[in-house]
Structure 1
Amino acid sequence: MGFSGAGMEEEYYGSRDVQEDVFGGANTIQKMMDVEAALAWAECEVGLVPEQYAGEIQKKCSVELLDEAVYAEARRTTGHPLMGMLRAYKAICSKEAGEYIHYGATTQDISDTALILQLREAWDIVEDKTRRLRKILAGKAREYRSLVMIGRTNDQQAMPITLGFKISTWIDELDRCLERMAQGRERIFVGQFAGAVGTMASLEQNGPRVQKLLFERLNLAAPKISWFATRDRLAEFTFDLAMICGAVGRMGNEVYNEQRSEVNELAEGYAQGKVGSSTMPHKRNPFLPGRLAGRGRIAGTLVMRAMQCLENTNERDCRTLCIEPYHLKEICCLADGTLDIALELFGQMEVHEDQIGHNLEILQGLIYSEALMMRLAEVYGRMEAHELVYELAMAAIGQKRQLKELALADSRVTAHLTEEELENLMRPEHYTGLAEHFVDQVAGTA
Structure 2
Amino acid sequence: MAGAVHDSAIYHKLFDAGEASKLFTDSAEVRAMLIVEGALAKAQGELGIIPELSAAAIHRATLEIVLDAGGLGAQAAVNGVPIPGLVAAFRDEMQAPEHAQYVHWGATSQDIVDTALMLRLRQLLGLMEAGLKDTLTALAQLAKEHADLPMAGRTYGQYATPVSFGSVVAGWGQPLLDCLKDLQSVKSNLLVSLSGAAGTGSVWGDQAAPLRAALAKGLGLGDPGRSWHADRGPVLRITDWLSRVSVALAKMGEDLTIMAQSGVGEIRLGKAGGSSTMPQKQNPVQPAVLVAAARHAVGLNAVMQGAGMARQQRDGAAWFTEWMTLPQLCLSAATCVETARALTPGLAPQAEAMGQVFNQSQGLMQAEALSFHLTATLPRPEAQAQVKRLCKEVIADGGHLRDAAQAAFPDIDLSPVFGPEGQLGDAADQARAFAAAVQAL
Code of the aligned partner of 1:325: W
Where does residue 258 of structure 1 map in the other structure?
259
CA distance in structure 2 between the partners assigned to 1:7 and 1:304 by the alignment: 28
The superposition leaves residues 272-324 of structure 1 with CA deviations (integer Å, 9 ceiling, x where unpaired) of xx652111111111121122122222222111111111212111111111110
CA distance in structure 2 between the partners assigned to 1:78 and 1:400 by the alignment: 75
Q: Taking structure 1 as reference, are residues 299 and 265 closer, same or farther at Cα in structure 2, changes over 3 Å only? A: same
CA distance in structure 1 between the partners assigned to 2:114 and 2:306 by the alignment: 18
TM-score, normalising length: structure 2: 0.92
Where does residue 114 of structure 2 map in the other structure?
112
Where does residue 435 of structure 1 map in the other structure?
427
Name whichever of 429-438 and 337-346 sits farther off. Answer: 337-346
CA drift of 1:249 comes to 0.5
Classify the secondary structure of the residue corresponding to 1:196. coil
Residues 40, 215 of structure 2: 8 Å contact kept: yes
CA distance in structure 1 between the partners assigned to 2:246 and 2:261 by the alignment: 23
Code of the aligned partner of 2:394: A
Code of the aligned partner of 2:362: Q
CA drift of 1:356 comes to 0.7
CA distance in structure 2 between the partners assigned to 1:119 and 1:108 by the alignment: 16
CA distance in structure 2 between the partners assigned to 1:204 and 1:369 by the alignment: 75
| 2:348 corresponds to 1:350 | yes
CA distance in structure 2 between the partners assigned to 1:248 and 1:424 by the alignment: 37
Q: Taking structure 1 as reference, are residues 364 and 311 closer, same or farther at Cα in structure 2, changes over 3 Å only? A: same
CA distance in structure 2 between the partners assigned to 1:279 and 1:243 by the alignment: 37
Where does residue 310 of structure 2 map in the other structure?
312
| 2:145 corresponds to 1:147 | no
Q: Taking structure 1 as reference, are residues 155 and 349 closer, same or farther at Cα in structure 2, changes over 3 Å only? A: same
The share of aligned pairs that are identical, in percent, is 28
Residues 238, 302 of structure 1: 8 Å contact kept: no
CA drift of 1:255 comes to 0.4
| 2:214 corresponds to 1:213 | yes
Classify the secondary structure of the residue corresponding to 1:13. coil
| 2:410 corresponds to 1:414 | yes
Q: Taking structure 1 as reference, are residues 431 and 72 closer, same or farther at Cα in structure 2, changes over 3 Å only? A: closer
Structure 2: any 5+ residue segments left out of the alignment? 1-7
Count, aligned residues = 430
Where does residue 360 of structure 1 map in the other structure?
358
Classify the secondary structure of the residue corresponding to 1:159. strand
TM-score, normalising length: structure 1: 0.91
Code of the aligned partner of 1:423: S
Classify the secondary structure of the residue corresponding to 1:221. coil
CA distance in structure 2 between the partners assigned to 1:165 and 1:70 by the alignment: 55
Residues 290, 335 of structure 2: 8 Å contact kept: no
CA distance in structure 2 between the partners assigned to 1:360 and 1:303 by the alignment: 41
Q: Taking structure 1 as reference, are residues 291 and 427 closer, same or farther at Cα in structure 2, changes over 3 Å only? A: same
Residues 57, 99 of structure 2: 8 Å contact kept: yes
CA distance in structure 1 between the partners assigned to 2:13 and 2:154 by the alignment: 37
Where does residue 161 of structure 1 map in the other structure?
163
CA drift of 1:425 comes to 2.2
Where does residue 197 of structure 1 map in the other structure?
198
Classify the secondary structure of the residue corresponding to 1:423. coil
Code of the aligned partner of 2:156: N
Where does residue 81 of structure 1 map in the other structure?
82
Where does residue 185 of structure 1 map in the other structure?
187
Code of the aligned partner of 1:196: A
Residues 231, 310 of structure 2: 8 Å contact kept: yes
Classify the secondary structure of the residue corresponding to 1:261. coil
Code of the aligned partner of 2:285: F
Residues 293, 335 of structure 2: 8 Å contact kept: no
Q: Taking structure 1 as reference, are residues 202 and 11 closer, same or farther at Cα in structure 2, changes over 3 Å only? A: farther
Residues 268, 348 of structure 1: 8 Å contact kept: yes
CA distance in structure 1 between the partners assigned to 2:246 and 2:68 by the alignment: 39
Where does residue 279 of structure 1 map in the other structure?
277
CA drift of 1:353 comes to 1.2
Code of the aligned partner of 2:260: Q
The superposition leaves residues 51-75 of structure 1 with CA deviations (integer Å, 9 ceiling, x where unpaired) of 2211111111136533668656665
Where does residue 290 of structure 2 map in the other structure?
292
Classify the secondary structure of the residue corresponding to 1:225. coil
CA distance in structure 1 between the partners assigned to 2:162 and 2:75 by the alignment: 67
The superposition leaves residues 352-375 of structure 1 with CA deviations (integer Å, 9 ceiling, x where unpaired) of 111111111112212111111111
Q: 2:97 aligns with which of 95, 98, 101?
A: 95
Classify the secondary structure of the residue corresponding to 2:160. strand
Code of the aligned partner of 2:430: F
CA drift of 1:405 comes to 1.4
Code of the aligned partner of 1:308: G
Where does residue 323 of structure 2 map in the other structure?
325
Where does residue 3 of structure 1 map in the other structure?
none
Q: Taking structure 1 as reference, are residues 23 and 361 closer, same or farther at Cα in structure 2, changes over 3 Å only? A: same
CA drift of 1:153 comes to 0.8
CA distance in structure 1 between the partners assigned to 2:124 and 2:291 by the alignment: 22
Where does residue 249 of structure 2 map in the other structure?
248
Code of the aligned partner of 2:48: G
Where does residue 234 of structure 1 map in the other structure?
235
Code of the aligned partner of 2:349: V
Code of the aligned partner of 1:10: H
CA drift of 1:397 comes to 1.8
The superposition leaves residues 195-251 of structure 1 with CA deviations (integer Å, 9 ceiling, x where unpaired) of 111111101011111111111101111123211111122122111101111110110
CA distance in structure 2 between the partners assigned to 1:294 and 1:71 by the alignment: 34
The superposition leaves residues 324-370 of structure 1 with CA deviations (integer Å, 9 ceiling, x where unpaired) of 02221111110111211112221212321111111111122121111
Where does residue 5 of structure 2 map in the other structure?
none
CA drift of 1:11 comes to 5.5
CA distance in structure 1 between the partners assigned to 2:80 and 2:235 by the alignment: 26
The superposition leaves residues 138-161 of structure 1 with CA deviations (integer Å, 9 ceiling, x where unpaired) of 111111111111101110111111
Q: Taking structure 1 as reference, are residues 301 and 67 closer, same or farther at Cα in structure 2, changes over 3 Å only? A: closer
Code of the aligned partner of 2:26: G
Classify the secondary structure of the residue corresponding to 1:151. strand
